[in-house]
Homo-oligomer: A and B are copies of this chain.
């Protein structure tokens, strides 16, 4: 910067002013400085700036397995929204979710001087780990526990499950079986709650849950069991990947979908429209989740974080395709 100042024949402060679009710089001086910058190939040092301004313009994101469609889409949405707002994004992807892991990640980001943190905390254990967060750093949780002490943005899982289950009941099915996600996941719990709620409200029997782990394989195994049960006519599967496994198991066992059994998934992955048959499912607007979480976070950062915690719920969208049909009498 000093070099640029020398070449342009001004002080380093004027160079700084040009770089920060300060109004009180003569047009001619500005041109001269810009020319010097160009000539020297000067690039400003954001680290030094962060040191004095105490703002890094970097946001931290803590997530779990960004290979999964849900987290990947959420993180993508967050990243886009952050960059649009002029912020960098520093990501920590956890391999396993445990309190220590989340805590370390948070501490790690806080040391790095991020201005705020978004935690994609879909597990109960992760949500709990937010309790001992680094003080002084604004934070928002995505898909987290709404009981905690932070702002939360999430898709309404209960509502999504309700839509799915009601759709199946509406088609005349006596009751609906459920292949769930892993028990620690908040999303899995929400989907169970929504499903169970509809059944109970309608006075329907509540079948035993078939537990899965989000993977197609676990769906496949659940599907094999369901295929052997004559009484099953409708299944609500907690995500599309497992639904694919269920469909596969049904296909192998000669169980027709939607002829004998109707199947509904959750997520609306891009593939689900091309499953056999195309899957009726619940779409989550991950882009909206990302945008909203960044919006709330930035508001907290600007306000100095003594804002009341917000709870924002994004509504899901139900997509009817070809894997559901009226019950066959």
Query: Which partner residue on chain B sits nearest A278 by CB separation?
Result: B248
Q: Chain A 88-127 against B: per-residue CB contact (8 Å), 1 yes, 0 no?
A: 1111110100000000000110111100000000000000
| Cβ A46 vs Cβ B216 within 8 A | no
| Cβ A90 vs Cβ B93 within 8 A | no
Bound CA span A215–B271, Å: 8
**CB of A251 to closest CB in B, whole Å:** 5
**CB of A232 to closest CB in B, whole Å:** 19
Query: Which stretch from A7-15, A71-79, A139-147, A161-169 is at the chain B interface?
Result: A71-79
Residues of B within 8 A of A66 (CB): 66, 72, 75-76, 79
Residues of B within 8 A of A220 (CB): 274
**Are A248 and B275 CB-contacts (below 8 A) given A43-B111, A44-B111, A47-B50?**
yes
| Cβ B274 vs Cβ A216 within 8 A | yes
Q: Chain A 48-72 against B: per-residue CB contact (8 Å), 1 yes, 0 no?
A: 1011000010100000011101001
Question: Of the candidates B75, B108, B244, B271, which one forms a contact with A241 in the assembled complex, judged by CB atoms under 8 Å apart?
Answer: B271
| Cβ B91 vs Cβ A89 within 8 A | yes
Residues of B within 8 A of A92 (CB): 79, 83, 88-89
**Are A45 and B113 CB-contacts (below 8 A) given A75-B66, A271-B244?**
yes
Residues of B within 8 A of A91 (CB): 79, 89-91
Query: Which partner residue on chain B sits nearest A95 by CB separation?
Result: B80
A212 touches B (CB below 8 Å): no
Query: How many chain copies does the complex carry?
Result: 2
Residues of B within 8 A of A283 (CB): none
Residues of B within 8 A of A107 (CB): 43
Question: Of the candidates B44, B48, B50, B276, which one forms a contact with A276 in the assembled complex, judged by CB atoms under 8 Å apart?
Answer: B276
Bound CA span A58–B91, Å: 11
A270 touches B (CB below 8 Å): yes
Bound CA span A50–B45, Å: 11
Bound CA span A36–B134, Å: 18
Residues of B within 8 A of A219 (CB): 274
| Cβ A215 vs Cβ B270 within 8 A | yes
**Are A217 and B276 CB-contacts (below 8 A) given A48-B51, A67-B72, A75-B66?**
no
Residues of B within 8 A of A278 (CB): 248
Query: Which partner residue on chain B sits nearest A41 by CB separation?
Result: B135
Residues of B within 8 A of A216 (CB): 270-271, 273-274
| Cβ B65 vs Cβ A76 within 8 A | yes
Q: Name the interface residues of A241-285: CB closer than 8 Å to any CB of B.
A: 241, 244-245, 247-248, 251, 270-271, 273-276, 278
Bound CA span A73–B48, Å: 34
**Are A93 and B76 CB-contacts (below 8 A) given A51-B51, A274-B245?**
yes
Query: Which partner residue on chain B sits nearest A65 by CB separation?
Result: B76
Bound CA span A101–B307, Å: 36
| Cβ B276 vs Cβ A90 within 8 A | no
| Cβ A244 vs Cβ B113 within 8 A | no
CB-defined A-B contacts under 8 Å, sample of 13 = A45-B111, A46-B113, A47-B50, A48-B51, A65-B76, A66-B75, A67-B69, A88-B108, A91-B91, A216-B274, A244-B271, A248-B275, A248-B276
